[in-house]
Amino acid sequence: MRRPVLAALLSVALLGVAVPAAADPIPDGPGKGFVPAYIGGPATPEPLAGRPVPANPHQGPVGTSSMHADSYASDTYPFPGPLGRDPEVLNEAKGGGLPGLCSTVTFARGTGLIVAQCTRGTTFVLRLIDPKTLKDLATYDLPPRASTVQAVFSLSFDKVLTDTSGGAYYYLDPQDRAVLADSDFHLRRFAHEKGPDGKWRFKATDDWDLGGYLPHDCATWTNPWPKGDCDPITAVGPDWGGLIWWITRNGVVGTVDPESGTVRTTRLSGESIQNSFAAAGNGVSIVSDHALYQMRADASGTPQVVWRQPYDRGSGRKPGQIDQGSGTTPTFFGDGYVAITDNADDRMHVVVRRREDGALVCQIPVFGSRASATDNSLIGYGNSLFVENNYGYRNFFELPPGGSSVGGVSRVDVRPGGKGCETAWTSKERSPSTVAKVSVPAGLLYLYTKEPRKDLIDAWYLTAVDVHTGRTVYKVLTGTGKWFDNNWAPITLGPDGTAYVGVIGGLVAVRDRA
């Protein structure tokens, strides 16, 4: 997954953390001059083998249109990322006040601009961003989440850190419209355009009110402790027939027909959903905190379960996850496979099943005993999966100076013919909380790493790992200190080869100069 987070902004509101000046770049913490700015050397591209990810006809181009890059949730890109050739780092502080972490970064094909969902104060905001300068061209405020209200009143960060609703799991459609479900239970499409004054703006072109289909007595600033139920929408995405699917925290799975406005729902009783979902031509894959599902819409548009397979959900929530269950969005890859991780107590497993019937392909343990967890989607391409270990990371606020996660990143391959799996390599790199990504033509896995240091310096690096060998190729320092903690935000590769990382202080870009 990736979890959309407001912790940084709550810390400002509740704890009085200093805010960087609006005109300045993100400020470094102490110690920048004592850590290397660049480690390693430029990469020589060697593509990862596999068939290209198919394009969903109702979503924007592969690699540009969602948090997980495409409808398969592959977290791979068909274009190169930075190769480490004389790299430069650009970062920004948004004008107008508080910094804001960007949970999802997408790219409009028609205008070449960035459309991003970020935080600002206690709200989410859509931002239209110049990819070269990282300056805002337009913004659109979204409603605050109920969990934010309750966190402020209860002084509990966990209420925010375990909430994946509010709009981070949105997508761009083929017309470059952001399709997003907000905290007021409205599913809307947003176009961006220039107004009569020549300035860019967002415009809501469609609006479907889903409040009548869900309990929506949610916390507000005037009523922080309502007596009724509140079931926020966590993610939206299109199937390959054109229906817009949406899911909620408490296990409701619904569709909207954008042509007629017809809404259909079903419920996974007694189960919750924290992550997004994957869609292919033969259905949609959803993981709850109990089981992995393959679903399809019937003739009326109602989601129906094709198969359900439970997994080992363990005995409790681990440090490095937001609930007791899989921390991954399902990933489609290879010859009809779907993959997640479980939450087994001793060692987490990568679990691969056949997409058509749910038959088990493999269940392979990864990382160390009593020290494995992930709350980020697997990367899948060809017959390979990449998984990172988030065990020990909770949030930016609880990470001590000089601290890090347990670490570890592994490549797991499905054997020819689907006859089990094997671990190809394991890297010791520590990528505490980012949604890692792979550039297929470059053959690089991009991580956002931080090593533990006795001198207490918090040094954050964009790190490129060879997908074939697990060797670290290069590292680029993005900055030092808390403002450069990504706090569960993803790495996103742009079509021009730039790597973007949402961090507490704003947005960071790393690109080659040579």
The Cα–Cα gap between 350 and 313 comes to 13
Quick one: what percent of the chain has pLDDT higher than 70? Answer: 92
Please report whether residue 343 resides in a domain.
Answer: yes
In CATH, what number is assigned to the domain containing residue 265? 2.130.10.10
Tell me: pLDDT of 157 over 80: no
148 band by pLDDT with thresholds 50, 70 and 90: confident
| pLDDT value of position 11 | 41
Q: SS3 helix, strand, coil % of the chain, rounded to 5?
A: 5, 40, 55
Tell me: pLDDT of 154 over 60: yes
Please report whether residue 1 resides in a domain.
Answer: no
Q: Which two tokens stand for residue 479?
A: 């900055």
Q: Phi and psi of 416, rounded to 5°?
A: -55, 140
Please report whether residue 332 resides in a domain.
Answer: yes
The Cα–Cα gap between 146 and 55 comes to 35
Model-level pTM? 0.94
Distance of CA 10 to the CA centre of its chain: 20
Please report whether residue 197 resides in a domain.
Answer: yes
The Cα–Cα gap between 34 and 17 comes to 24
- Predicted confidence (pLDDT) per residue in 375-396, tens digit: 999 999 999 999 999 999 988 8
Average pLDDT over residues 62-91: 97
Q: Which residue has the higher pLDDT, 96 or 459?
A: 459
Three-state DSSP at 10 gives helix
Please report whether residue 339 resides in a domain.
Answer: yes
Query: Who contacts 61 (Cβ-Cβ below 8 Å, separation ≥6)?
Result: 55, 109
- Give the amino acid at 82: P
Tell me: pLDDT of 21 over 90: no
The Cα–Cα gap between 205 and 219 comes to 28
Query: Who contacts 18 (Cβ-Cβ below 8 Å, separation ≥6)?
Result: none
Give burial (CB, 10 Å; 0-12/13-18/19+) of 308.
middle
96 band by pLDDT with thresholds 50, 70 and 90: very low
Computed on alpha carbons and rounded to an integer, the radius of gyration of the chain in Å comes to 21
Given the DSSP bridges, would you call strands 437-439 and 76-77 parallel, antiparallel or unpaired? parallel
Please report whether residue 2 resides in a domain.
Answer: no
Please report whether residue 18 resides in a domain.
Answer: yes
Residue keyed to tokens 């899948």: 380
Distance of CA 459 to the CA centre of its chain: 22
The size of the chain, in residues, is 514
**Mean pLDDT over the full length of the chain:** 92
Three-state DSSP at 211 gives helix
- Predicted confidence (pLDDT) per residue in 188-225, tens digit: 999 999 999 999 999 999 999 999 999 999 988 889 89
Residue 179's nearest CA partner among 106, 75, 272 is 106
Quick one: what percent of the chain has pLDDT higher than 90? Answer: 82
Q: Which residues constitute the domain of residue 103?
A: 7-512
Average pLDDT over residues 299-312: 98
Average pLDDT over residues 119-135: 88
The Cα–Cα gap between 196 and 210 comes to 32
Query: Who contacts 366 (Cβ-Cβ below 8 Å, separation ≥6)?
Result: 341, 347, 348, 349, 350, 372, 387, 389, 408, 410, 412, 423, 426
The Cα–Cα gap between 103 and 119 comes to 8
Tell me: pLDDT of 360 over 50: yes
Q: Which two tokens stand for residue 436?
A: 């890692």
- Predicted confidence (pLDDT) per residue in 24-54, tens digit: 688 899 999 999 999 999 999 999 999 999 9
Residue 139's nearest CA partner among 117, 165, 168, 164 is 117
Average pLDDT over residues 266-293: 96
What single-letter DSSP state applies at residue 418? Answer: G
Tell me: pLDDT of 3 over 70: no
Residue 318's nearest CA partner among 360, 271, 374, 274 is 374
The Cα–Cα gap between 248 and 211 comes to 12
Average pLDDT over residues 409-432: 97
Least confident span in 148-152, 167-171, 185-189: 148-152
- Report yes or no: 89 and 478 within 8 Å, Cβ to Cβ: yes
Residue keyed to tokens 């992995």: 292
- Give the amino acid at 87: P
Average pLDDT over residues 240-266: 97
Q: Identify the helix (H) or strand (E) that includes residue 202.
A: strand 200-209
Angle between helices 146-154 and 7-15 (to 10 degrees): 30
Query: Who contacts 223 (Cβ-Cβ below 8 Å, separation ≥6)?
Result: none
If one counts the domains in the chain, the total is 1
Strand extents, DSSP E, 160-290? 171-172, 178-181, 186-194, 200-209, 233-238, 244-248, 252-256, 263-267, 278-280, 283-287
Residue keyed to tokens 């109702």: 58
